[in-house]
C-alpha cells in the first residue's frame, strides 16, 4: 500500500494531493505496480522499470533531473537469507522508494518513533534513513569478534574449534565489506551534489555517514584479517600434529626394522643354525630383541625425537 509523508519536524503522513501541493519536501513509498501507475505524477522525467531480480547491489546514479538507485541489504539477523531489495528516485522535491516488501516502511516507522528535527530537510531524512541501514552493525561486528575469540582459544587449547562457524563468519564479513563499500560510494555520490538537489550546508550529513561506514569497513577488514590469522594458526597446529604422528610412526618403524630382520633370519629353514640346538638360543634372541627396543627408545629420547 502506497504511503506519502511530508518532511516537517518529523515525517507526517499525508495524501497524494497534499504531497503534490509542494508545501514541504516529501517521502513516498510505493510498490513496483503502484510506481508504474503513478510515476508520471512525480514529474522526475525518468522511467524505472523495476525488476527486483536485477537488483544486485547498493548504488546511486545521477540523471539529468533526478538521482536514481537501488539498495540490496544483507539480512543482519540471518546473513544466509536473501538480501532485501528496493529502488529509489529523488530530486529536489523529495524521494520515492519503490519497495515490493515492507523494508522501507519499517525504517520509516523507526525514524518517526525516534527522530524529531529542528531543521527538517530531505538531506537529514536521507541521513537518518541510511543510519537505519547500519543501525546495530557495530554490535553485530562485536559479536563476531567474540565468536572469533572463542574459536581462537579453542584452537590454542586443541579443543575441537568450530572451523565451519569461522568460515561462515568470514563469508558474512566479506558480504558486509562489499555492502559497506557500496554505501560509501552512494554517500559520496550524494555529497557530490551534481544536480544541486541538496543544500550545500546539509552535505555534511553525507560526509558524516560516509565516515561512519568507513569505520565499519575498517573493522570488517580487521576481522577478516583475524579470521585469516586463526585459520593459519589452526593449519600450523594441524601440521604440528601430523608431523608428530609421522615422527611416532617413523620411530616405531625404525625400532621394528631390526626385529623384523631377526624374525626373518630365524624364520629361515636352515638345519645347521647353531642357535637352534642351544637351550639358551630362544631366551638370548628375546633378550637381544628387548635390548634393541630399549636402546632405540633411549637413543630417540636423547635425540628428542619422542
Rg (the chain; Cα; Å): 35
Q: How many angstroms separate the first and last alpha carbons of the chain?
A: 74
Contact 72/85 with Cβ under 8 angstroms?
Answer: yes
Predicted local distance difference test score (pLDDT) of residue 305 = 64
Per residue in 188-210, pLDDT (tens digit) is 999 999 989 999 999 999 999 99
Burial of 107 (0-12, 13-18, 19+ CB in 10 A): buried
Q: Which of 99, 88, 285, 66 is nearest to 196 (CA)?
A: 66
Per residue in 227-286, pLDDT (tens digit) is 999 999 888 887 777 777 787 777 778 777 877 877 777 777 666 677 666 777 777 777
Per residue in 72-98, pLDDT (tens digit) is 999 888 877 878 999 999 999 999 999
C-alpha cell at 37: 501507475
Predicted local distance difference test score (pLDDT) of residue 12 = 94
Handedness of CA 286, 287, 288, 293 (dihedral sign): positive
Cα(126)–Cα(193) distance, rounded to whole angstroms? 13
Cα(34)–Cα(271) distance, rounded to whole angstroms? 105
Predicted local distance difference test score (pLDDT) of residue 190 = 95
Flag the least confident range among 6-10, 23-27, 48-52, 222-226.
Answer: 48-52
Residue 87 three-state SS: strand
Which residue has cell 524505472?
48
Contact 221/178 with Cβ under 8 angstroms?
Answer: no
Enumerate domains of the chain plus CATH numbers. Answer: 1-118 (3.30.460.20), 238-302 (1.20.58.340)
Cα(69)–Cα(48) distance, rounded to whole angstroms? 10
- The residue count of the chain comes to 306
pLDDT at 50 over 60: no
Neighbours of 160 (CB within 10 A): 8
C-alpha cell at 18: 497534499
Q: Which of 65, 25, 63 is nearest to 43 (CA)?
A: 65
Residues 6+ apart with CB under 8 A from 196: 92
- Model-level pTM greater than 0.85? no
Cα(258)–Cα(232) distance, rounded to whole angstroms? 40
Contact 44/98 with Cβ under 8 angstroms?
Answer: no
Cα(267)–Cα(69) distance, rounded to whole angstroms? 86
Predicted local distance difference test score (pLDDT) of residue 142 = 96
Contact 75/83 with Cβ under 8 angstroms?
Answer: yes
Predicted local distance difference test score (pLDDT) of residue 99 = 93
Predicted local distance difference test score (pLDDT) of residue 285 = 75
Give the residue, 110 or 42, on which the prediction is more confident. Answer: 110
Cα(208)–Cα(276) distance, rounded to whole angstroms? 95
C-alpha cell at 55: 537488483
Amino acid at each position: 500500500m502506497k504511503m506519502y509523508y511530508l518532511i516537517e519536524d518529523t515525517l507526517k503522513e499525508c495524501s497524494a494531493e497534499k504531497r503534490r501541493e509542494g508545501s514541504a519536501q516529501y517521502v513516498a513509498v510505493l510498490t513496483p505496480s503502484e510506481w508504474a501507475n503513478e510515476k508520471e505524477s512525480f514529474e522526475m522525467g525518468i522511467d524505472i522499470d523495476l525488476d527486483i531480480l536485477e537488483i544486485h547491489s547498493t548504488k546511486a546514479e545521477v540523471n539529468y533531473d533526478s538521482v536514481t538507485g537501488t539498495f540490496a541489504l544483507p539480512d543482519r539477523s540471518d546473513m544466509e537469507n536473501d538480501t532485501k531489495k528496493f529502488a529509489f528516485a529523488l530530486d529536489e522535491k523529495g524521494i520515492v522508494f519503490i519497495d515490493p516488501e515492507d523494508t522501507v516502511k519499517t525504517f520509516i516507522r523507526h525514524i518517526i518513533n525516534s527522530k524529531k528535527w529542528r531543521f527538517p530537510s530531505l538531506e537529514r531524512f536521507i541521513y537518518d534513513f541510511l543510519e537505519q541501514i547500519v543501525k546495530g552493525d557495530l554490535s553485530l561486528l562485536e559479536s563476531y569478534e567474540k565468536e572469533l575469540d572463542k574459536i581462537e582459544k579453542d584452537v590454542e587449547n586443541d579443543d575441537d574449534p568450530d572451523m565451519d562457524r569461522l568460515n561462515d563468519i568470514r563469508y558474512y564479513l566479506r558480504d558486509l565489506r562489499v555492502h559497506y563499500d557500496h554505501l560509501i560510494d552512494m554517500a559520496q555520490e550524494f555529497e557530490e551534489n551534481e544536480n544541486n538537489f541538496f543544500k550545500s550546508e546539509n552535505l555534511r550529513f553525507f560526509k558524516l555517514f560516509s565516515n561512519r561506514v568507513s569505520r565499519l569497513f575498517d573493522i570488517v577488514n580487521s576481522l577478516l584479517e583475524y579470521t585469516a590469522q586463526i585459520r593459519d594458526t589452526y593449519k600450523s597446529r594441524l601440521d604440528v600434529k601430523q608431523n608428530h604422528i609421522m615422527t611416532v610412526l617413523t620411530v616405531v618403524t625404525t625400532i621394528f626394522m631390526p626385529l623384523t630382520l631377526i624374525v626373518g633370519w630365524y624364520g629361515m629353514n636352515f638345519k645347521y643354525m647353531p642357535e637352534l640346538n642351544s637351550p639358551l638360543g630362544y631366551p638370548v634372541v628375546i633378550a637381544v630383541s628387548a635390548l634393541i627396543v630399549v636402546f632405540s627408545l633411549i637413543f630417540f629420547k636423547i635425540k628428542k625425537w619422542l
